[in-house]
Structure 1
Amino acid sequence: MITTIQKQQITEALNEFIKLHNISANEIVKRSGVNESYISSIRNGETTVGKSEIKDKWYLMISEFIGLSLKKEYWGLKETPQLYRMFSTLEDAKENGLTNIIIGETGSGKSYISDLFIKANPVDTFKIVVGSLDTIGDLLDKIIDALKIATPKTKSKKIGEIARRLKQLKLEGQNPHLIFDECEYMKQPALCSMKELYDALIKICGITLIGTSQLTDNIDKLRKKNRSGIPQFYRRIKFGIRELPTIDRSFSMFLDQIEDKALIRFLKQNCDNYGELHDVLVPAMKEADRTGQPLTEDFVRTILGMPKLLSA
């Protein structure tokens, strides 16, 4: 249930978002999936459209789109070396229409950072998450869905329509940018389609592929086997590969607010990356708030179902 105060917060945040990013209401409708009449009424501080009450889900969809959290945040932004390197690479690709590959360890914050970048550039930046079972057709459909364009029938026509839409955005004074996440799942046909997009969009649209070292390992294997299209693709991205710094496994940025030294030792011993640290700490912090219990090693072990070993 969204309170009246929260609805006011969403209204203020929405209007500020539109002013900050100079984004049209029509673009918000397309990107958020919220009906235009709801957007208009909420912007004016109204809670109804005609005689109908605007349902909470529309407020929630708007707050998600503009990046407004209505709940207490347990995992704040940390200015890690990975964040600085990745933001720099993404900004360079966006501003100059470059194609880059960002390689980082599992759990180093790649997806989290890319989402932050999209929130900072909501008008002309589009993120596509690659699935392990995605075919080239699936991947092109995801791009088309993100761009909100009509779906041609053939793969070549789909790529052509994607290129035309992004060129149109460039002509309108924007800096379009396609971000592909979890690209270690990309198969040979998908990688070849990236070559076609590169050729069609060089200096027009930034293209960033994000993945683990499995991505570059896979490209190397396909290149050495001289698989169709891969040597050509590699030539285009060879000097655009950027590796993120290794994870600081002391987690010094994340543990400075924890008082229990035993818990700090436990987290360092059991968490291999920032993602695992998040998965342990956030549920424990929420439960500690709910129950009023202190955040200690014993408490976290109880939440995780990991009883403390008895000393001999």
Structure 2
Amino acid sequence: METTLKQQIAQGVRDFITTHGISQADVAKKSGVRKEYVNIIIKEESNFMYDAGGKTGLIPAKHFYALAELVGISTKKEYWELQPTDQLNTILSNLQTAKQNGSTNVIIGDTGAGKTYALDLFAKKHPQDVFTLKVGSSDNLGDLIDKIIEQLNISTGKTKSKKIRDIAKKLRELKALGFSPMIVFDESEYMKQPALCACKELYDNIHEHCSLVLIGTDQLIDNIDRLRKRNKAGIPQFYRRIKFGIRQLPPIDRSFATFLTDINDRKLRTFLQRNCENYGELHDALVPALREADETKQPLTENLVRTVLGIPDTMYV
């Protein structure tokens, strides 16, 4: 990595710390870079060399890349530009409103609508008090609670109920310090009954001090409805708390108009519109081809996209 880029990243980290009033320790935790390395990197006129245990050397480039990701500095050419879709604007607006009001919301949108992308943008603007967790298909109640604890960087008791109370205590402390804490569960359609009930208990402990947001597909609502009809323990109570906080995103624009304005090949536009179901699939189809077109100086055409993706002319419309 060139020294000029390292210096740019170092300045970006310094600006990030100043702008958000965040500590070097928090930068280290959020980026995964050792605090000692962070201290060296952000030092004015740093030579980016470490000295530990009698050994010296340049701080590995991977740590600079991690810091660049945290503070929003691109270290490589981007082939996918931010587009102000209806879904993006709606998610950001709902997240901002929930954060300001400390409310509980459930944001529902189609797969590939850019929900995670929007959440990442929002979280990077609020590194001190927005805590995001991705729900895994195998996550149980304990897993989710531990993910929150890890995000908050706190020590807790051993029982689940004590852990939830300790989480609530930390969030109340942040609120008292003037922050507007928010916990966001992404891909919440994977939540099982115990996890949903844990959200209810978490809500009861923090609703006056922290906003709680679940983001997922309509599978989340379908799952809650099934559990409600079976009168599963805790689910009617949980639903009562989120019922009027459910927000449905607009449907995806399948014409992809804002994304395809610079594509001149009419056949390619038609191919993408007919074969891509959402923004995620459009990204997966276009980015490798855009990179190939840039590197080989070829025009971006349907034939190039098919070649890069390994799709024969006889496959797909």
- Determine if the alignment matches structure 1 residue 86 to structure 2 residue 85: no
Of residues 122, 130, 134, the one that matches 2:135 is 130
Q: What's the counterpart of residue 32 of structure 2?
A: 33
Mapped partners of 1:11, 1:208: distance in 2: 33
**Could you tell me which residue of structure 2 aligns to residue 224 of structure 1?**
229
In the alignment, what sits opposite 1:177? 182
- Alpha-carbon distance between aligned partners in 1 of 2:313 and 2:205, rounded to the nearest angstrom: 58
Cα distance in 1, alignment partners of residues 84 and 30 from structure 2:
28
Q: Which AA in structure 1 matches 2:16? A: F
Of 190-199 and 65-74, deviating more is 65-74
Give the residue type in structure 1 aligned to 2:70: F
For residue 27 of structure 1, report the CA deviation from its aligned partner.
2.0
Conserved 8 A contact 1:141-1:151: no
Deviation at 1:152, TM superposition (A): 3.0
CA displacement at 1:151 relative to structure 2: 4.6
Alignment of 1:275-294 (within 5 A): 275-294=280-299
Provide the residue aligned with 1:49 in structure 2. 50
Q: Root-mean-square deviation (CA), in Å? A: 1.4
Task: Kindly indicate whether residue 311 of structure 2 is the aligned counterpart of residue 306 of structure 1.
Answer: yes
Residue number in structure 2 paired with 1:67: 72
Q: What letter matches 1:266 in structure 2? A: F
Partners of 1:152 and 1:214 lie apart in 2 by 33
Q: 1 CA distance for matches of 2:66 and 2:311?
A: 37
Corresponding residue SS for 2:67: helix
Q: In structure 2, what residue type is equivalent to 1:182?
A: E
Pairwise mapping of residues 120-269 of structure 1 onto structure 2 (< 5 A)?
120-269=125-274
Q: Write the deviation string for residues 149-202 of structure 1: whole angstroms up to 9, x where unpaired.
A: 225321111111111111111112111111100000101100000001111111
Aligned structure 1 segments of 4 or more residues deviating by more than 4 angstroms? none
State the partner residue of 2:100.
Answer: 95
CA contact (8 A) 1:96 1:203 kept: no
Q: Secondary structure at the match of 2:39?
A: helix
2-structure distance, mates of 1:37, 1:221: 51
Matched to 1:68, the amino acid is: I
Segments of 5+ residues of structure 1 without an aligned counterpart are: none
Write the distance in 1 (CA, Å) between the matches of 2:299 and 2:175: 53
Moved more, 148-157 or 8-17: 148-157
CA distance in 1, matches of 2:27, 2:76: 23
SS in 2 for 1:294: coil
C-alpha deviation, 1:142, in angstroms: 1.1
Tell me how far 1:305 sits from its aligned partner: 1.4
Q: Cα offset for 1:247? A: 0.3
Question: 3-state SS of the aligned residue for 1:214?
Answer: helix
Which residue number corresponds to residue 19 of structure 2?
20
> Counterpart amino acid of 1:126?
F
Deviates more, 1:89-98 or 1:13-22: 13-22
With normalisation by structure 2, the TM-score equals 0.94
Indicate the percent of aligned positions where both proteins have the same amino acid.
Answer: 55
How far apart, in 2, do the equivalents of 1:161 and 1:283 lie? 46
Aligned partners of 1:284 and 1:152: how far apart in 2?
51
- One-letter amino acid of the counterpart of residue 245, structure 1: P
Mapped partners of 2:146, 2:178: distance in 1: 25
Aligned pair count reads 309
Distance in 1, Cα, partners of 2:69 & 2:20: 16
Tell me the SS of whatever aligns to 2:143.
Answer: helix
Whole-angstrom distance in 2 between the partners of 1:18 and 1:255:
37
How far 1:33 moved relative to its partner?
2.5
Contact 1:97 1:201 in 2 (8 A): no
CA distance in 1, matches of 2:15, 2:34: 19
Report the TM-score, using the length of structure 1 for normalisation. Answer: 0.96
Flag structure 2 segments of 5+ consecutive residues without an equivalent. Answer: none
SS at 2:5 equivalent:
helix
Query: Which AA in structure 2 matches 1:251?
Result: F
- 1:52 offset after TM fit, Å? 3.3
Per-residue CA distance 1:203-262 (angstroms, 9 max, x = gap) = 211111000001011111111211100111111110000000000000000001111111
Match of 2:118 among 113, 138, 148: 113
- 2:302 and 2:14 mapped to 1: Cα distance? 44
- Aligned residue number for residue 2 of structure 2: 3
* Partners of 2:112 and 2:156 in 1: CA distance: 35
Look up the equivalent residue of 1:234 and give its one-letter code: Y
